[in-house]
Structure 1
Amino acid sequence: MKKFHILFSFFFITIASSQNLEVDKRNGFKDIKLGDHISMFEGIKEAPFDYPTKIIGLWNTTDENLGYFFDDKVDYFELTFDRTTKKLISISVVLLIKKPYSDPSVLKKYKEINSKLIIALGSPSSVGEKTISLSWFGNNVMMSFSLNSEQIKFDEDANAIGLTSLKFLIMSKKNIKENVKKGF
């Protein structure tokens, strides 16, 4: 029994110390915050997905401050809203690179942004084992940054031609839990 209490205490301390208060403090990307109403996003275009509980919209901004993720131009935002309340539940900041996933410059760009995120948010709570990603967990908010191969083709000389995205995702942990419960 004593071993159980020691093990439980160690587990609790590890989980508690892995919470990142900076993630909760930010609660979004720059001026875009989780909980914002859909009406705040002028020109948002609803994606053609039929989800009964959420609305996914693609949005571009003319705001110079929001248009950059560190030094890189944001290509678009993918915003997810609760269908009933119309409140923002997740934010994806998307950067597109017109090169294949395997191009060395793509990984270099990913690492540059990772370094800046670690300075801004601290050490990540987890590092993707099967994906190229980092995640930070707060008490209420989760943030992750990932490298994704969107499409790849080969030309006549077998050179890779592709499109890669870098995605910075901010999501309410409450929303994550609700989605998991609905799928179980």
Structure 2
Amino acid sequence: MQAPHPALCAALLCAALSAPVHAAGFMQESLCPGLDQPVAGTGQKYEAFFSPYTHHWSQDAEHQQVYAISLSRLLPNDRFCGFSLFNNSFGQPSAYAFIGKTWPGVLASYPEVYVSATAGIIYGYVGKYKNKVPLNVGGFSPVIVPAVGYRISPSAAVEVQLLGTAAFMLGATWRF
């Protein structure tokens, strides 16, 4: 059986994040509430991220350069939901659907500095690489990605994302 395409997995995971949750017969809000609410401030609704560089803490002859793109929907209270498409450290096409939160202005003397964290599900570490991420079931694994960023302008920022004990990723964001 052929594995599903990562872009399809990301789309399905994002749909699941925004769908209402039914638990014990009660209707709950979606995991990504606020999609229909305006975001205060600049009127920007989305944020795109691109990473051209990832540094692995330990070198492996099989490691390949990782490239990632993501799109997030900005939500009230500095929250966001989104998805990312990337090639993983072993060259496999991969996807990540996530929810997240940003804490702007964490340093009083540098208000442009922010921290954020995302949590979600990745798909893509399959075959002989299935044990390269924890809790992998059929190529799907839970993930938490903390990040530190510097807001250059209301629309642009640079960011460092920590990828567990494996690596860190450098990238840039653009809000629109």
Structure having the higher helix fraction is 1
* Higher CA-based Rg: 1
TM-score (norm 2): 0.29
Structure having the higher strand fraction is 2
TM-score (norm 1): 0.28
